[in-house]
Amino acid sequence: MIKVGIYDSDILILSEMENLLLQLESVRKIFIDIDVFNEKSDFLSHMNDEVYDLIYLSIQDDYKEIIAIAQEAKDYNPHVTIIYLAEDESLWKLLLEEAHMFRLITKPIDHNFFCKCFMNVYDKMRADKNYFEYKYRRKLCRVIFNDILFFESSGRYIIIHTKEEETKMIGTLNTIECQISTSKAAFCRVHQSYLVNEKYIKNIERTSLLLFNGTRLPISKRRYQLLKERL
C-alpha cells in the first residue's frame, strides 16, 4: 500500500489527479490510500496524524508557504516523497535546491508523465522499504521488519510478535508472504501457522526451532529440510 496526500486549491485538478491514481490502482493492482485537500489548513491538520509516503503539492506565488509545508512534512516523516505541481516550470531549480523535490509536474497535467512519476516513486519505495504496514480498525500501522520476531496465524487474525510487544491484524500468512516478498527482509514459513524472521533463529531441530528470545516454535518436516538448506 502507498499512502498519498494531495493539496491543490483547484478542485478540478484534485479530481483529475485522484482519478489518475485510481486508474493506476486498478491497472497496476496497487492499493493506493488517497487523501485530497483544497485548503492548506486542512492538509496541515492531517499531515501530523497520517504517515504519507507521497505528497503532491501545488505551488504558485505562495511558494514560501508551500516550501515550509514540505519541510514540516519531511521533519515529521523523513522518508516522504514530494512531487510539486506548478504552471511555471522555472521553479524547478528553487524546488530542487530548497524544497526536497522529487519531480515537478507542470500544468496542464501530462497524464503519461504523471503516471510515470508515480511509478518511479512506487518502485523506489518498494526497493527501500524496511517496514511492514497493515490496517487495523481503520488505522494505518507500521512496524520495522528488524523488530518483528515472527507472525502467528490465529483464526482470522495474525498476531505480530515484536521484541517489545504483540499486536494483531486481520489477514492470512499467505497474504503477508506475498506482501513482504519484494522487501529485503528475510522471513521463512516454518509451519502453516508461523512466519519467522530468520535473523532471530538460534537453532533448528527436526520438529521445532528456538529463537534467541527463548521462544520455541513447531516446524514441519518439509519446511525443516527447506530451512536447513537456506540457513
Read off the pLDDT of residues 185-210 as tens digits, 9 standing for 90 and up.
789 999 999 999 999 999 998 899 99
pTM: 0.61
Residue 18: pLDDT band (50, 70, 90) is very high
pLDDT of residue 117 exceeding 70, the answer is yes
Dihedral of alpha carbons 69, 123, 187, 152, sign: positive
Mean pLDDT of 27-54: 86
pLDDT of residue 50 exceeding 90, the answer is no
d(CA 184, CA 176): 14
Q: What is the dihedral of CA 45, 25, 15, 107, to 10 degrees?
A: 100
Dihedral of alpha carbons 181, 186, 192, 193, sign: negative
Residue 182: pLDDT band (50, 70, 90) is low
Poorest-confidence range of 40-49, 50-59, 85-94, 101-110? 85-94
Cell numbers representing residue 229 in the block: 538448506
Are 46 and 35 contacting, i.e. CB atoms less than 8 angstroms apart? yes
d(CA 114, CA 17): 8
Helix (H, G, I), strand (E, B) or coil at 18: helix
Higher pLDDT pick, 163 / 185: 163
Pairing of strands 201-204, 194-197: unpaired
pLDDT at 107: 93
What is the average pLDDT value for the chain, to the nearest integer?
87
Mean pLDDT of 22-39: 91
Residue 41: pLDDT band (50, 70, 90) is confident
Q: What percent of the chain has pLDDT over 70?
A: 95
Poorest-confidence range of 49-58, 88-97, 98-107? 88-97
d(CA 57, CA 7): 5
CA neighbours within 13 Å on the CB side: how many for 46? Answer: 17
Mean pLDDT of 38-67: 84
Strand order across the beta sheet in which 32-37 lies: 32-37, 2-7, 54-58, 81-86, 101-106
Cell numbers representing residue 40 in the block: 492548506
pLDDT at 231: 67
DSSP, res 109: P
pLDDT of residue 3 exceeding 70, the answer is yes
Q: Amino acid letter at 218?
A: P
